[in-house]
Amino acid sequence: MTAKKTGVLLANLGSPTAPTTSAVRRFLKEFLWDPRVVNLPRPLWWVILHFFVLPFRPRKSAKAYRKVWDEKGSPLIFLTLQLTERVAEKLHAKGVTTQHVMRYGEPSIAKQLKAFKTAGIDNLIVLPLYPQYSSTTTASIYDDVIKELNQWRHLPNIHFISDYHQHSHYIAAVAESIEQSWREHGKNELLLMSFHGLPEQLTKWGDPYFHQCHKTAALIAAKLGIDEKQWMIVFQSRFGKAQWLKPYCVDTLKDLPGQGIKKIDVVCPGFAVDCLETLEEIAMENKAVFMASGGVEYRYIAALNDSEIHVDAIVNLLEQKL
């Protein structure tokens, strides 16, 4: 019997091709038109998107991207690539082909699946690099995978890893990154764990994201051996006027100094690699909010990126499906 050939897709959100208004507009047009991302009736959302969002938001977002853009390009893209290359090195000996894909932009899921088909891949593992499941992110990747596979006559075996929010190796990796920061810089008064926000309505509709974020944060705190007074969970990146998951990160940062907490560490366990939301929003913009409100020290702890502990955690997760 011929051994099956396994292909792994590490999937992330995507990024503009350049920190320019036009490139950001193209990216946002694709991203924000996804019905998984914005759950409004299509005709209504088309009007809002084309007349109230796309004419204005790309210019502001492009300015933010320019603050974090690297000579290698978008941090999310090249850090995902570096992580994938290191994972691929470890899985190569097992005969596994590992590639990275983006839900929006390039390299696209459809193109890489076609390449896998040409290469004779008949065992497919898809890992969205979102530890916590959300219908706005994880499910959208699933949709795109199935959209392509629906066109195939001969389907591969498919393993779709929908989340790893309480996977022991992932929890240990995040905890170790925090402890490493504490060893190097000292431990501040409070550890703030910030996750990307979502509209509250999604939780009411059955999206488990909110509960998985809380589970992740509690497990990290337990691994660190800190009590409930030493850490706090918040949600960032609110967009629009609807009620989003609380507590809001920005509001919390404004309030903490007045409560006597003026030195904090901030970590974002929902982001596998650093990106605009961590490098610009959390590390720059939100730091300025905290310091302007009377804060004394604000330290952002980087995402796991392509660190050895992250690579090992991802490999362990994937090996369970081989």
Binding residues: 196, 277
Binding residues for Fe(2+): 196, 277
Structure token digits, residue 252 = 């919390």
Residue 229, class by beta-carbon neighbours within 10 Å (0-12 exposed, 13-18 middle, 19+ buried)?
exposed
How would you label 154-165 residue by residue, b for 16+ Cβ within 10 Å and e otherwise? eebeebbbbbbb
**Beta pairing, strands 231-236 & 96-104:** unpaired
Structure token digits, residue 163 = 């989340």
Closest CA to 189 of 247, 257, 235: 257
- How far apart CA 174 and CA 303 sit, in angstroms, is 8
Strand partners, 158: 124
Strand partners, 98: 8
Contact yes or no for 316/169 (Cβ under 8 A): yes
Q: Tell me which amino acid residue 79 is.
A: L
CB neighbour list of residue 180: distance below 8 Å, 6 or more residues apart: none
**Beta pairing, strands 190-196 & 231-236:** parallel
